[in-house]
Every structure is written in structure tokens, then in C-alpha cells.
Structure 1
Amino acid sequence: MTNLLPRCGDEMPLTSAELDFFQERDDEAEHELNERCSCSLQAEHTGHHTALAQCLGGTEWWLSWGKDGSAPPFARLTGGKRLLPLGCCPAVNPRDKQESCLLFESHDGAHSFFLEPEAAPVPSRKYRAMIAADLRSEMAPDEERYLLATEAFLEEPVDAVLPLLTAHEAMAVTVLLTKLAGDEWLVEGHVEELVSRLEGRMVATGVCPKKLLSATA
């Protein structure tokens, strides 16, 4: 197994002007906006730090900054002095022709497929809705009704009590949902909320979730 190279990881927050630039184009955004950007280049790279800030309508906007936080001399002034619309790197992993470099064209250091992985951008609300709609189109009617009923339940007040659920049933469901949340980003928010409700009900009935879990393990 080939050892992957470390990434730089230097962080830089977006300025208010840069945040405004992206928020004004929220309907085009392909992933959730992170106010702090982390350099995606290889550790100890030359030149300026660079991180993907947002993808708008197929155009990748990269934030570039110097070691002292200054703007790079080649930065364009469109939408913020440190923001650069850069083309994708054309390199392909020689060991896997299906894997392309996720960095920008003519970047410093190694290609992304030789670097340690970094967290994938979370899709924007619009793209999550598109993915959810696509998933629902493949659901059986009973599956879709169950999903809609679950979503409706999660919109109830936080203090709502789960009916007809024993402590052991709640514990089993909580364990399964917690595992599911770690495997599937699309339902993570719903799962975390539901797990919180389940644990709250157990505590309200005098049951400690941790003690119950250890007793049933």
C-alpha cells in the first residue's frame, strides 16, 4: 500500500466581502459554504496557500492567500481580491484511470490522489433536495410514505414524547440509527435529531441510555 502524503491544512477565514459574494449566489452553490478554508495542497508546498471555497454553476472558486494572509499577486478582483475561478487539474491517477485530481490546474505539489484524503464538501440544500428527489423516485410507495411520516414527526416540538416505545426498543433503534448516521450524510441531520428524542424519552422514564447499552451489550 502506497503511503499518502500529508496536506498543508493552513486555515484562512473568508472575509465579509467574500462571504457576501457567495451568499448572493446561493442558488448556484453546489456545496455548503464553510467560513474557514483549509489549504488543500501538499504540506510544505511552495507558493501561496489555496483552498476550494465554493463551486458556482460548475465554476470552482478557490481562495488563495500568502503565509501572512496577504492576497496573491495574480488574484483577480472579481468578487473578492483573493478569490480565483480556476480550472480543474487534468491529471489522472496512473493506478486508477477513473480517479482525477481534485485540485486546480498547475497547482503546487502532488496531485490529490497522492495526498491524505480531506473531508468531502457537504452538498448545498438545493443539491441535497435533488439527491433526495432522485432517491424517492426509486422508492416503493410504502417506503416513501414511511419517509414522509418520519420527516413530519421530526418537525414536531422538541419535547414531544414518542408513543408506544419501550426503553429497550428505544435503545436498539438508537444504536442502529447512530451507526447509520456515521455511514450516510444524507440522513445524518434527521438521525441525530431522532436519536436525541429517543434518548430524551428514555431519560424521562428513568432509564440511563449508557447503563442500558452496557447491560444489553
Structure 2
Amino acid sequence: MLSPGERCPARIELSDYQVFWLMRRPYATHHVRRHHECRLEFRHDGPHGDVGQQSHEVEWWIRWTLTSSAIEQVGACPTVHEESGDPPEEVACLLFEGHPGRHSFDLEP
């Protein structure tokens, strides 16, 4: 059973068109995958989401519900967390700006 702080178990398979569209983004930095898992916190509000592609300051996130999916250009979450250490290290949230629930660094891998 999942508990708060765990990631949502939702998954999606992209269409051929969606995969091709993500592959064609200029200055793409990621290998495009057909299967995606939600990166948000378990029991989050709103659609599920996973990053589909990234280039420089632009991110394209796959957002989906039980009945539809879309690829949206969004900004990265600006939140950073300072982890103790010598020297202390800043860890950035890897989700999109305005995401529901906890930040990625507060979720179990």
C-alpha cells in the first residue's frame, strides 16, 4: 500500500505521433521513451505527469488522465533544498513549476 511521500503509480504509453513529436524537439537532451510513470506524489490533485523532453530552459511534460493526454511546455520548479554536508549541497526539484504535492527531493525514489 502506498503512503504519503511515495510516487504515484500511474503509467501511460505514448502514441507513435507523440514519440515522434518529442524526438523532433530542437536541442533535445533526453532519449524519448514510449512508456512513462507519473513523477508526482501519490494521491495528487489533477492530471498525472512525467517529463517527455527537455532542452536548455524548456521542458515538455506529458500530462494525462484516464481519458486524454497532452504534451505541454512548462517551466521547471524553482524550489531548491539545501542538504547538510561539508559543504552543503543544493538539490533542485525536478518537477514542473506549480506542481501539486511535495517536491521531488521529498519523495521516495
Question: Which residue identity lines up with residue 29 of structure 1 in the other structure?
Answer: A
Greater RCO, CA 8 A, separation 6+: 2
Q: State the match for 1:29 in structure 2.
A: 28
CA deviation digits over 1:13-55, x for unaligned, max 9? 1122211212233x62211111111100001111110111111
Whole-angstrom distance in 1 between the partners of 2:105 and 2:59: 18
**TM-score, length-normalised on structure 2?**
0.82
Q: State the match for 2:61 in structure 1.
A: 62
Q: State the match for 1:10 in structure 2.
A: 10
Whole-angstrom distance in 1 between the partners of 2:82 and 2:24: 40
**TM-score, length-normalised on structure 1?**
0.43
Structure number with bigger Rg: 1
Query: What is the identity percentage for the equivalent residue pairs of Structure 1 and Structure 2?
Result: 33
Whole-angstrom distance in 2 between the partners of 1:36 and 1:100: 25
1:102 paired with 2:102, answer: no
How many residue pairs get matched? Answer: 102
Secondary structure at the aligned position of 2:92 is classed as coil
Q: State the match for 1:92 in structure 2.
A: 80
Whole-angstrom distance in 2 between the partners of 1:58 and 1:9: 28
Whole-angstrom distance in 1 between the partners of 2:95 and 2:24: 25
Q: Greater helix percent: which structure?
A: 1
1:1-217 to structure 2, matched below 5 A, reads 5-25=5-25, 28-66=27-65, 68-71=66-69, 82-95=70-83, 98-117=90-109
Q: Greater strand percent: which structure?
A: 2
Structure 2, gaps ≥5 residues long: none
Structure 1, gaps ≥5 residues long: 72-81, 118-217
